[in-house]
Every structure is written in structure tokens, then in C-alpha cells.
Amino acid sequence: MQKIQGAILIIISSIAFGTMAVLAPLAYQAGTTPITLLFLRFLIAGLIMLIWMLVARIPFPKGKTLLLLILIGSIWYVLQTLAYFTALSMTAAGLVGLLLYLYPAIVALIGAIAYRERLSKAKLGALGLALMGTAFTLKPDGDGLSLGIILALTAAILYAGYIVIIDKLMAGVDPRSATTVIMLSTGFSIGGIVALQGFQGPDEILGWIPILATVLCSIIALGAFFAGMKKVGSTNAAILSTTEPFIIVGLAAWWLGERLEISQLFGGLLILLAVLFLARQDLN
């Protein structure tokens, strides 16, 4: 039952993350910059989570765990989320979402290298499939190494490392308190950048709709992911999130009118097949 509950939470998280990826370009179209959007996203969501924690009397992490969560939120997660949301301002949301989904394979590689987790032949084959899918997704015609693509790949690498690190810290930590600390740390850190560059909100009042929706998705996505990961582990959590790229591609086509090329969709399919092969191995 615990595994099933964890899987449901991870799927809810991936739906929220996927929706957020499509809301970001809508916010940019309304005049908001990636830095301003992220500042509002993390600060407002973090304050809402803080009020919830105080009302529900949820204890904060303490000591070394608290310090590490603050450092992760103010440095690592800032870099990851900046790379991802800046990529969304430069490249098709569907393509960015597909490339982000290299992170389960990267999580498996980190586990093998840093923690000496065994990589079976099937897992090695899945990693090769993910690499092949990346080649198709990037289009081998010299058009694939744009800054947006590079940032999307960077976001995938940073996110994989983030998941592995957080998984090691979650023992005995309430996922809601971890979410709150990371959100506030990220928000204040990005706030420093906003202070230097200047705040740029939407041009019209309706432009606040995708911003506020992004805040709501942030709370749901991070909270559900931490709670689910605590039940199923980091590798399984990464693998069970495979609904997210389908949501991004579908919503981007519906809301933004984006259309990926056949070769890119085929590459994305190979990446997702690789993730499913990894899932089968881990769940067995």
C-alpha cells in the first residue's frame, strides 16, 4: 500500500510540474522575465507553506539537515530551476520537457558511480537507449546545440544530482518542512538577483493568472514529490514521473501551438522507453 500511495503522489507531482512548464511561456508572453517569475513562484509558495507549517505545528528540520537544505535551496536548486525556466524562454516547451527526462538515467549513473549500485546489462541497455533518444531529439543536423538546448540538458543533470542528494537527507524529515525550507531559500536567493536586475511583472492584470497558477503548481509538485519519494526512493520516484513529458508536449501543442518534428518525438519516445526499462529493473 505504501508503494502505491508513493506512486500516486509522484504522478500528481509530475502533472503539476508538467503544467508549470507550459504556464511559464504564457507568463513570459505577458511580459514577465524568468527571474521575476521564479522569484514570485518560490517566495509566494514558500510563504504559503510556512503559514501552513505554523498552523499545523509541523516541526522544522534542525541542525546539519536544516543547513544542508538551505544550501541546496539557495545554490543548487537555484541553478537548476534557472537553467530549466530560461530554457523554456528560448526553446519549445515540449522539447525542453523531453530533454529533462534524461534525469532518471543520470540518477542511475550517479548511483552506480557514487554509491556503487549495480548496473545490470538491461540497465546499461536502457542508458544506451536514452543516449540514442537524445541524439534524435537534438536533431543531428547541427541545429540542436542552441543555448536553450544546452540549458535544458544542464537542468537535467542538476536535477538528477538534486534528487540523489535530497534522498539522502529525507530520513526522519517531514517532506512539507523540507519543501518549505527549499522554497524559501530559493526565493530569497533569487530575490538577490532580482534586486540587482530589477523586478519586471506582467504588462496587464490578466498576466498574473499564469504566475499564480505556477505558484500553486509549485506547492503541489514539490510537496507531492518529496512525500512520494520518501515512500518509493529516489530512483523509483524519478522513473514513476514519466507522465510529465506527455503532459508538457500535449499542453504545449494545445495552449502554445507547438509542434515537434517526427525525429524529435521519436527521440523522446526512446528516452521514455529507456526510463520504463529502468523502472522494470528497479521494481523487480
pLDDT tens figures, 195-251: 999 999 999 999 999 999 998 998 888 788 878 888 887 667 767 777 788 888 888
Q: Is the dihedral of CA 177, 183, 189, 194 positive or negative?
A: negative
Q: pLDDT band at 143, cuts 50/70/90?
A: very low
In Å, what is the CA distance from 76 to each residue of 73, 130, 245?
6, 24, 23
pTM listed for this prediction: 0.84
Cα 275–Cα 173–Cα 175 angle in degrees, nearest 5: 55
CA–CA separation, 175 vs 102, rounded Å? Answer: 25
Query: How many other C-beta atoms can be found within 10 angstroms of the C-beta atom of residue 46?
Result: 25
Q: Which domain holds residue 198?
A: 2-283
State the total domains in the chain.
1
Query: Among 141, 170, 82, which residue's Cα sits nearest to residue 261?
Result: 141
* Residue pLDDT, tens place only, 43-97: 998 998 899 889 989 898 988 999 999 999 999 999 999 999 999 999 999 999 8
| 129-141: pLDDT as tens digits | 888 888 888 764 4
Q: What is the pLDDT of residue 144?
A: 47
Rg from Cα positions in the chain: 18
Residue 10 has pLDDT above 50, yes or no: yes
Is the pLDDT score of 99 beyond 80? yes
